[in-house]
Chain A
Amino acid sequence: MGPFRLYWLKWIAAYPVTSAFLLIFALILLAALLPLLVSLLPIRKVPLTYNLRNLQVRWKTTLVTALAFTLVTALLTFMLAFVRGMDALTEESGHPGNVLVLSDGATDEAFSNLPKFRVELLPRDLQKLIPHYEDGERYLAAQEVYVVATYQVPLPRAGGPTRRFVQMRGLDDLQVAAAVHELELAQGSWPSASGVRAITVTGEGGAPRQDTAPEVVLGESIARTLGIDAGKEALVPGDTVRIGPRRWFVVGILKAGVSTFGSEVWARDTFIQEYFGRTNSYSSYVVRTADARTARLAAELLKEFRSERNLQATPERVYYAKLSQTNRQFSVAAYVVAIIMAIGGVLGVMNTMFAAISQRTKDVGVLRLMGYRRWQILCSFQAESLLMALLGGALGCALGSLCHGMTATSIVSGGAGGGKSVVLRLIVDFGVLRTCMTFALLMGALGGILPSWRAMRLRPLESLK
């Protein structure tokens, strides 16, 4: 408790203005939500049917106000679904038992430069931590060369990109690497022993000629993106695609999943090294251990291991968690947009509620004379505002939920250079809906509090004059 308290005290000392603002906001919020809580108590006597009838009678105003809530909530749902999709991508990429090794000093795979590697070179105690592949011979370890290649869109759409950056990963053994990363094939097969396929291409003058193409396996997302670029739904085994200086032959498609590997093209390391000027150079090693605890231990041992280059080893999950810097930035931006829009919406609700009250001062007088108390009047009008928020918010959540499962492009990065271009799926889960509904209700509560306060303050006899 001590450090927790100290942390908040330090925070308040560092940001006194923000703290004061947050305190005032919290008090207003509490005051705004209090009537709702009170109205839920068994002693409630708030004339809710009166409010419902009023909303029904003034249906045009109700609809217009609720529509504003709908728009804000739908937009927030979309934005949070995007952020949630990015979060899932960085959370799900990486196995808890994997250790990722980069060259010391590199902040990203793109900047890492390592020599060839074999598990057998490691000390015995480290080797023991790395299990074998199902054949019992090969270790569950991969050495990988990662490049971002340029790719010309074959059939560019009007206004669309003419070029893309495609992430390619060269691996010494694709099957073992897939096992290390827990990936499986959805279609096709792994590259053959030679890793090259004979293809027929159209030569000069339109005459067909024989050529060879290195074999590749595509992530599910990139297969779709490259397929659309080529005028079809997705690339499938048997297709060829020109990336960088070569035409490549697609032999397999990885199973769809939520990870950054879905946006990558995998090939044999020697081809990537040769065609992209990375001869004898690797970007990373990934080794599998039994679990997260062993991964941490292995990372420590690998850091101490002296080889040709100093190594920087981190559990894979930690590495991908660091790539969530962009997610945080987008998340903050989403809330800033939503809050500013909400302020507009709140002011709109205030307008509606003030007008409603000025038109119904006589009603308030009658209610007071009938014995309703001040707080009940406050709750009554506040409930009206919250009902509009509930209606608009629910519609907004429903509308925003339509984006669930849609694909989007983005970038995940740790903020220190590098980063990975990814294709992600938007996720509308319970957490997103809960946040959006809470947001809508807060808008309603804040928008209704001042007008309800004014209604509460009306004197019965004066209001009947």
Chain B
Amino acid sequence: MIEDFLGNPITIASLIISVASIGFGIYVAVTNGRLLLLGLKSLRRNLLRTLLTAAATAVLVLMVTLIWTILFGLEQMTRERARDLKVIVTERWAVPSQLPMTHAEYLRPGSPAQLPELRGMYGPDDFMLWSFYGGTMDPAKRDPANLVFFFAMDPESIIPMMDDMEGLDPELIRRMRSTPQGCLIGRDKLAAIGNKQVGDRFKLSSINYKDLDLEFEVVGILPEGRWSQSAVMNLDYFNRAFDEYARARRVPHPLSDRRLNLIWIRVKDADQFDRLGGAIENSSMFSARPVKVERASAIIGSFLESYSTLIWAMKWLVVPAILAVMALVTANAISISVRERRTEMAVMKVLGFRPSQVFQLVLGEALLVGGGSGFGAALATFVLFNGLWGGIPFRLGFIPIFRIPSEAALWGLAIGAATAFLGSVVPSWSARSVKVSEVFSKVA
């Protein structure tokens, strides 16, 4: 958690900006409480302008929060960790990886066929197999709405190996084990395929394994958020379907020896990863169907390469443009305000306010509006999106949803304050330089 927090430069920068903004507010309140009250009164006096500026800041902060959440999520997935590395073994040269099921036995802990070099390196809780089974409920009218994609896997691997599954009720695993055709499905997927409930049964016509049409029983619901559109089925049930096919037709299914897609292994550290990779990639057991061993983060990074323009545009075009629009909106509002209040500022100077205090007053007003509305907008975005949809429902390849992190509130405060500062520093300086004689000569 701390590692994630400190590893993200946006969060670090947000923390610094937020601390500086709040520090400035406290400094003004402590050294000159009157100035703070004056600022608040001034904001209230032109309530419409304050509200319009705050609303503009809020909607733009909402957008930046959404975009940064997606970028933050992608960054988290592709970040290389020092410990507890997840490693994926896949077909060496082609995508999608399609391996024979026998490959799993050379790597499975406790299997008599496990490569001797790997024995003791990782345990049963550090090992997971994934086969993908996709099927439609309506073969006549295939539609994403009636398609279900399953991760066919050993139920025992779900909690220890899958991300964000730590809180899954172990009772669901027991139910999956006791019901071969039992499956766990995300709430959104259940709703999409006709509001299915726990206990309901349905049949799928396979779209990737011709003639392997299977019946399923929903035994539980996957956690909200990342998995709300996913589904998990028993690997044994999947394998048995191939056996039955071969028995019934006296020939193996055409894809029988290409039905294992990914093998996941968790290793302690980079050193163990190197040893594991060397042992597997150099093993003669895999010479007929070569495999490669990679960190999960590297594989995800390669998949995301297709989205590189989109990610680049979000990072370097959309976000800067939004920040610039925010700064312009604030600059405009504060400039107008300063122009309208030149007499007031001249009077303040006559009353003994120093130029630096006038500067602080105008800057403080902008920071209060920007920082306050930014913080509020980010907090509302966090509550609204995570509460309603479990995150931002923007599908990017195999990632269906992005959960907004709690530090987003900090981003909002920082974005609002920083753009308010940029937009108001010139008008504030102009307010500081108001010449009493000039203003009063014009008034006269």
> Residues on A close to B: CB < 8 A?
60-61, 64-65, 67-68, 71-72, 74-75, 78-79, 82, 103-107, 110-111, 113, 147-150, 161-165, 244-245, 275-278, 309-310, 325, 329-330, 333, 337, 340-341, 343-345, 347-348, 350-352, 354-355, 358-359, 408-411, 415-417, 421
- Least CB distance from B333 to A in Å reads 5
Q: Are B92 and A340 touching (Cβ within 8 A)? A: no
Q: Are A275 and B332 in contact (CB under 8 A)?
A: no
Q: Which residues of chain A have C-beta atoms less than 8 A from B62's C-beta? A: 340
Q: Which of A148, A343, A359 contacts B340 (CB 8 A)?
A: A359
Q: Is the CB of B321 within 8 A of A72?
A: yes
- Docked Cα-Cα span, A347 to B290, in Å, equals 60
Q: Please tell me if the beta carbons of B93 and A276 are within 8 angstroms of each other in the complex.
A: yes
Are A111 and B321 interface neighbours, CB within 8 A? no
Please report which residues of chain B, range 179-235, place their CB below 8 angstroms from some CB of chain A when the two chains form the complex: 205-210
A106 adjacent to B333 (CB under 8 Å):
no
**Does B317 touch A at the CB level, under 8 Å?**
yes
Hey, which chain B residues are within 8 Å of A74, CB to CB?
A: 321
* Pairwise interchain contact B95-A417, C-beta atoms closer than 8 A: no
Chain A positions within 8 Å of B332 at CB level: 61, 64-65, 68, 348, 351-352
Question: Do A345 and B325 form a contact, CB below 8 Å, given A276-B94, A410-B307?
Answer: yes
B329 and A347 form a contact (CB under 8 A): yes
Q: Per-position contact with A for B80-123: 1 when CB-CB < 8 Å, else 0? A: 00000000000111111010000000000000000000000000
Give the contacting residue for A329; candidates B298, B318, B336, B395; CB below 8 A.
B395
Distance between B28 CB and nearest chain A CB, rounded to angstroms: 25
Q: How far is the CA of A95 from the CA of B207 in the complex (A)?
A: 26
Q: How far is the CA of A358 from the CA of B394 in the complex (A)?
A: 43
In the complex, B305 has a CB within 8 A of chain A: yes
Q: Is the CB of A351 within 8 A of B96?
A: no
Nearest to B299 among chain A residues (CB) is A163
Q: Does B38 contact A (CB under 8 A)?
A: no
Closest B residue, CB atoms, query A76? B321
Q: Is the CB of A165 within 8 A of B302?
A: yes
Pairs across A and B, CB under 8 Å, 30 listed: A71-B328, A72-B321, A72-B325, A78-B313, A82-B313, A105-B205, A105-B209, A106-B207, A110-B95, A111-B207, A148-B96, A150-B93, A150-B292, A161-B301, A162-B298, A164-B302, A165-B303, A244-B92, A245-B290, A278-B94, A310-B210, A344-B325, A344-B326, A344-B329, A345-B56, A347-B59, A351-B53, A351-B56, A408-B309, A410-B307
Say whether B52 contacts A351, CB under 8 Å.
yes
B325 lies within 8 A of A348 (CB): yes
**Which residue on chain A has the smallest CB distance to residue B208?**
A111
Query: B428 on the interface (CB 8 Å rule)?
Result: no
- Chain A residues contacting B63 (CB-CB under 8 Å) are 337, 340-341
Shortest Cβ distance from B328 into chain A, in angstroms?
Answer: 5
Contact, CB under 8 Å: B207 / A410: no
Say whether, besides A150-B94, A337-B318, A163 and B210 are in contact (CB < 8 Å).
no
For the complex, what is the distance from the CA of A194 to the CA of B42, rounded to whole Å?
84
Q: For residue A168, which residue of chain B has the nearest CB?
A: B94
Q: B134 within 8 Å of A by Cβ?
A: yes
